[in-house]
Structures are given as C-alpha cells and as structure tokens.
Structure 1
Amino acid sequence: MDFDMVFAGMPVTNLAGAVDWYTRLIGRPADVPVNDTEVMWQFTETAFLYVVLDPEHAGSSLVSLSVVDLDVAVAEAAGRGVLGAAIQSIGSAGRRASWNDPDGNRVALIQITH
C-alpha cells in the first residue's frame, strides 16, 4: 500500500471559534477555505490539517504536528494567546507540548529527536 498525502481532521461545534483558536496556535490563517463548514491548513506539500463543523464528533480527536523548534513554537503560540502547554519529554523520541482546542480535541506540537 502506497500513500502520498495525509489529511488530519478536527471536528468542532463552532467553526468560527475554532478557526480563531487554530489561527492563533498555527500563526496564520487557513490556507484553504473549503466551504462554509470546513477550512484547511497546509503544512507541507502532502500534509494538511482540516477543521470541520461536525458537532456529533467534536472533542474526540488527537493530532500531533512536528515542528523544528518546540521552544520557539510554544513561545510564539503563547504570544498569540494560546497558553498553558508545558513541554514534556517523550522518552528518546523527542519532546511534546499539548493543548485542548475549545471543543476538547487534543493538539500536540512535537519536536522529534534525530
């Protein structure tokens, strides 16, 4: 089986509120306004995070986004009002900082040890 793209989805109850939160976490507006109920951020040529209005499933998702410098990413997010993430070691794999979005979906920024 060969894969060539990843789309990770975060279901939410309030799209406008979620878009605001994710914009502050990520540091830029969504790249693709798909339609009235979905937006997407593109991180690499083949990796996307989409936020979709889906109240029935909101709050039950988990996504990890790898960043080059976790300390810088957490400080930048805090500067945009996304607070409360403590950086934790994840064994020999690297480090992680996690937040819950307004619906309780878990978002982690990770820095992988090479």
Structure 2
Amino acid sequence: MALDMYAGIPVSDYASALGWYERLLGSPTFVVSDVEAVWELAEHRSIFIEQRPEHAGHAMHTIFVDDLDALVAQIAERGLDPAERETYSNGVRKATYRDPEGNEIGFGGAPL
C-alpha cells in the first residue's frame, strides 16, 4: 500500500507565518499561491501552511527524525529554539516549537 501525507497548518497572517516556517523548515519546496506554501519532508510526506484565519492556531503535528539533536541545532542556526523539550519514560525525546499563532510542530527522536 502506498502512503502519502499532506498535513496542513492554518495561519491567519501568511507572510509572517512563511518567514517563521522558513526558519523552522528551511525554504519551501514550492509555493502554491500567495496564501499557501509546501515543504516536502520526505518522499510523499509534506507539510503546508495556508492562510485560513478561522482555523489558525490549532494545528498539532509531531514528526519523527533520525537525528533529533542535529535537527534542533540546524533550526537554532536559523534563529528558533524549542518552546519545550521532553523525554518520555521510554526514553523517546521531543522538541516542540510553537509558531506565533500557537500551532505546535514537534520533532521526536529515539533515545540516545
């Protein structure tokens, strides 16, 4: 079975959100329109922001990565630090970022 994921993040101020998400994820893979941009995180797995003020601030996504520390360091180089860091009882770690509207993007990683 093929698997594709296209996860959305509603924002009220697209221009401001685009700048913040570029610091979090790097340059978008492509810009759909003047109110939507897409980042392909892996083949057939994308995340997008879209101006939808009536829904802004309610997204919650967690993305698991092979090297959490390296990713957090790369994001820090672009000017963002996690709002929260957690280590669960099973050793799994998570770094959570919150955009200015309250949307949460977490990155999880296996125990060290």
TM-score normalised per structure 1: 0.87
**Structure 2 unaligned regions, length at least 5:** none
What is residue 94 of structure 1 aligned with on the other side?
92
- Equivalent residue for 2:46? 48
> In the alignment, residue 80 of structure 2 is paired with which amino acid?
V
Q: What does the per-residue CA deviation read over 1:31-83, in whole Å, with 9 as the maximum and x for residues that have no partner?
A: 02111211100011110001000000000110111221111211221221112
2:103 to 102, 105, 111: 105
Q: Is the 8 A contact 1:40 1:49 kept in 2?
A: yes
86 and 105 in structure 1: CA distance in 2 versus 1, 3 angstrom threshold:
closer
- Please tell me the residue identity of whatever aligns with 1:42: E
Match for 1:32: what amino acid? F
1:21: Cα distance to partner? 0.8
Report what 1:19 is aligned to.
Answer: 18
- Judge conservation of contact 1:74–1:85 (CA < 8 Å) in 2: no
Structure 1 spans left out of the alignment, 5+ residues? none
Deviation of 1:3 (Å): 5.7
Q: Is the 8 A contact 2:83 2:98 kept in 1?
A: no
Q: What is the aligned partner in structure 2 of residue 57 from structure 1?
A: 55
Aligned pair count reads 111
Aligned partner of residue 23 in structure 1, secondary structure: helix
Query: RMSD value over aligned CA atoms?
Result: 1.6
Q: Which residue of 1 aligns with 2:80?
A: 82
Q: Distance in 2 between matches of 1:25 and 1:89?
A: 21
Q: What amino acid sits opposite 1:8 in the alignment?
A: A
Give the drift of 1:90: 2.5
Shift of 1:91: 2.9
